[in-house]
């Protein structure tokens, strides 16, 4: 590798943004040109994010204002947007027009259909004209398109944990697409670094609770990709829970085998699908969030309940890595022609 790829991180103060900085700090082929934060502009990155003080190039970085002018001048070719949905699009449009390549960690460019966005996010899509250009950023599903994409909407945390399990099975017609119910549990970092009383330690410790029922926003991208995989409309039930841990998503899926499918086919189909994938591990053993914490892996397993004929599918991932920042870097590696695992293994 000769020259490093110059990148900028827009909005590095949230949990995903901080994780992104942390991963990029250890990435051998990247040069971070700028890191923005409206709240902390002018402060050294290491003061706001003490984990990153004295870490390689971040030692000398100072947060800059998120002004488009500064961003365009910083010399980056790739821009990571770690911003709330809606706001991300405001940055994506001028960056796109300037010919920059963009990895967006928000939900703004994950949906193909602006009406679905309006239905689930309750507002008009802020940049409809870019939707046809955006690629859904889950490399295991759309690797080739991501390589050449100028704009990637990096897949969400819950969706990744659901799609990596279900898509190969739906593509192969092995499960009943009409009967899918999902119970997921996420660590609290999934809710972001927002100063809300409901996210206080005293509210989340020794607490487990469902939320966002029955129509969590992530359902929209989950169903979009499931429907693509099944070549027909797939509608599912999805129940997210908040669990008393910082990181990790555990997903449990209830479904049924398609007619005539033997239960043994399921695990072997998953193993085949992911045999060459660097970040998906299929195992007979039940997955555990702690085994993927701090990594870009998604662990998958399956069990058949012969008593009821139900198939139980399970997965775990780190919501901030494979569910956010790690996935963004994996997408970026593909876009930049780097090794897909660079900085991630």
User: Which member of 193, 262, 268, 337 binds its own copies (CB under 8 A)?
Assistant: 193
Check residue 199 for interaction with its own copies (CB under 8 A): yes
User: Which member of 11, 187, 323, 326 binds its own copies (CB under 8 A)?
Assistant: 187
Q: How far is residue 144's CA from residue 152's CA, in Å, rounded to a whole number?
A: 12
Taking the CB of residue 32, how many other CB atoms lie within 10 A of it?
24
User: Which member of 90, 244, 271, 339 binds its own copies (CB under 8 A)?
Assistant: 244
Tokens 């796109």 correspond to 96
Of 70, 266, 33, whose CA–CA distance to 169 is shortest? 266
Single out the catalytic residue among 21, 157, 204, 298.
157
| Residue 193 C-beta: closest distance to its own copies, Å | 6
| Residue 190 C-beta: closest distance to its own copies, Å | 9
Check residue 80 for interaction with its own copies (CB under 8 A): no
Is residue 74 part of the annotated active site? The answer reads no
Residue 250 near residue 185, CB atoms below 8 Å: yes
Cα-Cα-Cα-Cα dihedral sign, residues 63, 69, 74, 78: positive
Q: Which residues contact 318 (CB under 8 A, 6 or more apart)?
A: 247, 248, 249, 289, 292, 293, 294, 295, 296, 297, 326
Residue 44, φ and ψ in degrees, nearest 5: -65, 140
Check residue 147 for interaction with its own copies (CB under 8 A): no
User: Which member of 245, 257, 328, 334 binds its own copies (CB under 8 A)?
Assistant: 245
| Residue 27 C-beta: closest distance to its own copies, Å | 12
Structural tokens at position 213: 């029922």
Pattern 265-304, its own copies, x by CB under 8 A: -------------x--x-x-xxxxxxxxxxx-x-x---xx
Q: How far is residue 181's CA from residue 85's CA, in Å, rounded to a whole number?
A: 26
Pairing of strands 30-36, 78-81: unpaired
Q: Output DSSP code: residue 286.
A: P
| Residue 89 C-beta: closest distance to its own copies, Å | 25
> Which residues in 152-183 are b (16+ Cβ under 10 Å) and which e?
bbbbbbbbbbbbbbbbbbbebebbebeebebe
Check residue 206 for interaction with its own copies (CB under 8 A): yes
Of 88, 133, 127, 130, whose CA–CA distance to 107 is shortest? 88
Residues 309-338 close enough to bind its own copies by CB under 8 A: 310, 312, 314, 316
Return the number of the residue (128 or 213) whose C-beta is nearest its own copies: 213
Q: How many residues bind its own copies (CB under 8 A)?
A: 77
| Residue 189 C-beta: closest distance to its own copies, Å | 5
Residues 29-68 close enough to bind its own copies by CB under 8 A: 47, 50-51, 53-56
Return the number of the residue (50 or 99) whose C-beta is nearest its own copies: 50
User: Which member of 196, 259, 264, 276 binds its own copies (CB under 8 A)?
Assistant: 196
Q: Which residues are catalytic, by number?
A: 157
């Amino acid at each position: 590798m000769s020259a490093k790829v110059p990148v900028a991180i827009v909005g590095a103060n949230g949990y995903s943004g901080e994780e992104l900085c942390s991963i990029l700090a250890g990435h051998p082929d990247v040069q971070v040109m700028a890191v923005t934060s409206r709240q902390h502009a002018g402060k050294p990155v290491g003061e706001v994010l003490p984990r990153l003080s004295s870490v390689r190039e971040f030692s000398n970085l100072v947060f800059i204002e998120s002004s488009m002018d500064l961003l365009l001048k910083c010399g980056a070719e790739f821009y990571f947007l770690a911003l709330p949905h809606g706001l991300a699009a405001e940055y994506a449009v001028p960056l796109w027009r300037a010919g920059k390549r963009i990895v967006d960690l928000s939900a703004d460019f994950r949906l193909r259909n602006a009406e679905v966005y309006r239905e689930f996010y309750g507002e008009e899509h802020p940049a409809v004209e870019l939707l046809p250009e955006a690629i859904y950023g889950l490399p295991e599903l759309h690797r080739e398109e991501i390589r050449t994409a100028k704009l990637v909407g990096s897949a969400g945390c819950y969706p990744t944990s659901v799609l990596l399990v279900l898509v190969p099975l739906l593509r192969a017609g092995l499960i009943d697409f009409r009967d899918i119910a999902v119970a997921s549990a996420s660590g609290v970092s999934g809710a972001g670094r927002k100063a809300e009383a409901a996210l206080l330690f005293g509210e989340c410790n020794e607490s487990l609770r469902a939320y966002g029922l029955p129509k969590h926003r992530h359902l929209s991208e989950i169903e979009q990709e499931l429907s693509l995989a099944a070549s027909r409309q797939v509608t599912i039930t999805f129940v997210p829970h908040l669990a008393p841990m910082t990181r990790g998503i555990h997903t449990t899926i209830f479904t049924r085998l398609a007619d005539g499918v033997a239960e043994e086919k399921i695990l072997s189909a998953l193993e085949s699908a992911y045999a060459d994938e660097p970040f998906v591990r299929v195992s007979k053993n039940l997955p555990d969030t702690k085994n993927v914490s701090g990594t870009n892996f998604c662990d998958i397993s399956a069990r058949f309940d012969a008593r009821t004929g139900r198939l139980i599918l399970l997965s775990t991932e780190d919501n901030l890595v494979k569910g956010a920042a790690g996935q963004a870097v994996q997408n970026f590696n593909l876009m930049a022609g780097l090794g897909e695992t660079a900085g991630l293994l």
